Structure 1
């Protein structure tokens, strides 16, 4: 029951799409009609500018931290994985918000926040390595899926079976949201970012 409550708290917080709020305030339109239609930092930064992209990022980090903190306060130490369950719920809410017909974001910032809060060392290392992959290759989908995968691989060294299961679910969610981008990357159709054109 505690795990379900953590999921529900996380889902409720995750459904608060900062990108949608910023898009409506700035343009009067839904984020779904801007750029790629994704209510995440990358799309909003591209369409509205870096300042508003960072605002979306802060909102996504904040709502995940709120869910994580509430569940840690309410259910820990009885449920030591309360924060990570809340993080999983926040990712589900962000990716599949019920009020938006389950059409949400891709959950990169939310996932990163949940991982860092749950295991600061391994979460931060995974996020930094994922960022490095993105900057080196220019492929956002590749860097995104690397993050939870590296975290998952680290869990046997320090975590429990339950933590491993939660990390696996977060990895599956990330892959599911980026599978099309990965397929385009394999076909050579995915645009590269952060890289200069080669002469």
Structure 2
């Protein structure tokens, strides 16, 4: 029963559209601007750096708290409550962000929420993924490409890291990486066509 309750709470918490709420607080409907995505990257481009950073942190917390704090809360209530339930709660938060019930199941791509979830269950993979994302964005100026490569790196790292021996965590994070890459399929098409927006270009940000 406790697992079921926490699972539902994780999904509903993950489904909170922080990007939409942050943008609306500035008088902007983020769904009709830029890429139309409610995630931190679009808020960053359209509303501003500070608000985009705020959205990223809030979206990351949606993944971190269910993955890290929910199992600890469960352990306080039920003896023997497994920490591995955090993987399920974190994944449900990502599903909530990607398919939010509040927005007719049309949400973001889950990159920030995935990063928060990873930080809660596999911090080494987060470090590797972040480095890959940062290097890719600095070199290519494509945020989407950085997210795709970071997701792929995370999926590999959880299998080669000797400190990570939970098959549940490894399998779940691999599936999560595949989900994030799949959600970027439109970006992949634009990258192949040479029409993807580059980060930091004023003309593209304005459009």
Aligning the two structures, in what range does the TM-score lie when normalised by the shorter sequence?
0.7 to 0.9
Q: Give ranges in structure 1 of 5+ residues lacking alignment.
A: none
Correspondence for 2:39: 40
CA drift of 1:153 comes to 1.0
Correspondence for 2:136: 133
Q: How does 1:23-62 map to 2 (within 5 A)?
A: 23-27=23-27, 29-62=28-61
Q: TM-score, normalised by structure 1?
A: 0.87
Cα distance in 2 between the residues matched to 1:42 and 1:141: 9
1:86 pairs with 89, 111, 125, which one?
Answer: 89
- 42-51 or 63-72, which deviates more: 63-72
Cα distance in 2 between the residues matched to 1:127 and 1:7: 27
2:105 aligned with 1:102, yes or no?
Answer: yes
Q: Give ranges in structure 2 of 5+ residues lacking alignment.
A: 202-207
Cα distance in 2 between the residues matched to 1:110 and 1:155: 18
Cα distance in 2 between the residues matched to 1:44 and 1:103: 16
Correspondence for 2:13: 13
CA drift of 1:89 comes to 1.0
Correspondence for 2:165: 159
CA drift of 1:183 comes to 1.4
Cα distance in 2 between the residues matched to 1:10 and 1:65: 10
SS of match in other structure, 2:124: helix
- 11-20 or 184-193, which deviates more: 184-193
CA drift of 1:40 comes to 1.3
